[in-house]
Structure 1
Amino acid sequence: MERWHNRVAVVTGASSGIGATFVKYLANNGMITVGLARRKERIEALRDDVKDEAKARIHAIKCDITNETEVVAVFKEIESKYGPVAVLVNNAGVVRHSDLLKENNSQDIRAVIDTNVYGIVWSTREAFRSMKAQGDDGHVFLINSAVGHVVPYLPNNSLNIYPPSKHAVTVLAEMYRQEFQNYNTKIKITSISPGAVRSEIINEEIVKLMDNNVLDPENIADALIYCLQTPPNVQIHELTIKPLGEKF
């Protein structure tokens, strides 16, 4: 992690679950870490859970990543306060469990697409602008899902537009790989696709269906740190992580 010391990492959806764990891991590993979320105070509270010398490296900015104008302004604020972005972790994501065929479900569908797809597009565009301005390296992570590759059948539990939104993330990873290359940069792209992770967006019914075989947020954060430590000529394009015993 030495090459990333005192460089800026941005984590979206940083107020809980995997995102909060990413913030702590990155700060503990020497990065100036900026967490973005609607609940800014929960990011600030993460300072209590890191090493003393890492506390000052955690910063929080309130941001709705579905709002393009707000995202543009926030990334400019990050650059002016902390420096150019070196690592972006697109972690923010939501899931809705109502059926696609249910009437009056437009709000649920838009919430998922706006967060899981557009949120990545706006954030990655702005991070890339910052990375390109300060040099040719950097690393962008897309926190995808195993359902972005294969859709499980969950009796009486519709995942709504969530799996299609994650399939879009799978394709976005390849599009970014090609575009980073076309712009003659050495910026890496990594899509991490976990199975079920213990978090606020996984309901207890699904956990029971899986006989409690779920991942912990720390398992995903360990993988992220591993990817960041790969040599400059190595790109982990797709990493799928499943809990032992997962049925799907």
Structure 2
Amino acid sequence: MSLSMNRWKGKVAIVTGASAGIGAAIATKLVESGVIVVGLARGKEKLDEFAKTLENKNGKFYSFKTDVSKEQDILDAFRWVKESLGPVHILINNAGLRRKTNLIDGNTNMWKEIMDTNVLGLCIATREAIKDMRANKVDGHIVHMNSVGGHKIVKIPYLSVYPASKHAVTALTETLRQELNSINSKIKITSVSPGLVQTEFRLAAGVLEERKDNVFENLPSIEAVDVAEAVMYVLSTPPHVQVHELTIKPVGEHF
């Protein structure tokens, strides 16, 4: 099997949650490969600062403030891309979150925020990308950033509805594959499921702030760039090859 990113050079990719962590690492790899990347995130200032690190690369990076838990934000982003840059060829559904709550006496608003971002936002962005790809006869590629938590339940505090949201991503990946097959579409769909990754994710969720000992600190882990390389691999496969699920873990992971 010959791997190459050549067919994506000069094409447009949308990366959600692009301002930090895995999203930023993926955006960087794409831009370095000559792809035109539109990074979506809630913090425009952070996106703009990140954009400065990608100047004078093979591709180009544009930032667009978007909260993927809000449908209108997603629609506005896709409209801007269509009017300013052209057809979408790649969508990386990376935006996701956890919140410090549980199921026993959990916070309903936090549950909704998780599901709106991790599930509905992903679905809306995917719908808009496929609509654009089909209108422009693009055999594109959609990547859902999943998790090992989307395949089994790991014993970690404050998971609440997060594993359910990631199990939904696993189901949505297969459902979409079947729907695309039913219309004879060559658009590809891939789920990428990382294990423990050293990013700002858990800190942003607020699940570490009251812990004197970080239970993750001494566990085997991978870095955001490792996950980005995995995404580049699936994008580099030839048109007739679809990596449906890719799980990437650190050696010795306990989960």
Counterpart in the other structure of 1:218:
225
* 1:134 counterpart residue number: 136
Identical pairs, percent: 42
How big is each residue's C-alpha offset from its partner over 1:104-131, in whole Å with a ceiling of 9 and x where there is no partner? x111100100000001011000011111
* Backbone CA RMSD of aligned residues: 1.6
Contact 2:51 2:63 in 1 (8 A): no
- The residue number in structure 1 matching 2:246 is 239
- Secondary structure at 1:89 match in 2: strand
* Aligned partners of 1:195 and 1:243 also within 8 Å: yes
Aligned to 2:155: 153
Shift of 1:218: 0.2
Amino acid at match of 1:148: G
Distance verdict in 2 for CA 1:192–1:207, change over 3 Å:
farther
Residues 148-167 of structure 1 show CA distances to partners (whole Å, capped at 9, x for unaligned) of 0011113xx13111000000
Alignment partner of 1:208 out of 203, 208, 215:
215
Q: What is the alpha-carbon distance in structure 2 between the residues aligned to residue 13 and residue 124 of structure 1?
A: 14
Which amino acid in 2 is paired with 1:10?
I
Distance 1:200 1:209 in 2: 12
Partner residue, 1:42 = 46
Structure 1 stretches lacking a partner, 5+ long:
none
Report the TM-score when normalising by structure 1: 0.93
Deviations along 1:203-242, whole A, 9 cap, x unmatched?
4569634623111000010011111110111000000011
1:196/1:202 contact within 8 Å kept = no
The equivalences for 1:6-17 within 5 A come to 6-17=10-21
Match of 1:113 in 2: 115
Compute the TM-score of the two structures, normalised by the length of structure 2.
0.91
Aligned length: 244
For 2:176, the aligned partner's letter is Y
Residue aligned with 1:88, SS: strand
Say if 1:52 and 1:165 are closer, same or farther in 2 by CA, change over 3 A: same
Counterpart-to-counterpart distance in 1, 2:55 and 2:133: 28
Q: Which moved more, 1:45-54 or 1:214-223?
A: 45-54
CA distance in 1, matches of 2:73, 2:110: 21
Does the 8 A contact of 1:35 with 1:59 survive in 2? yes
Letter matched to residue 128 of structure 1:
I
Secondary structure at the counterpart of residue 34 of structure 1: strand
CA displacement 1:152-200 (0-9 Å, x = unmatched) = 113xx13111000000000000011111122221100000000111112
Determine if the alignment matches structure 1 residue 73 to structure 2 residue 76.
Answer: yes
Q: CA deviation at 1:202?
A: 2.3
Contact 1:18/1:199 (8 A) holds in 2: yes
Residue 27 of structure 1 is matched in structure 2 by: 31
Q: Which amino acid aligns with 2:224?
A: P
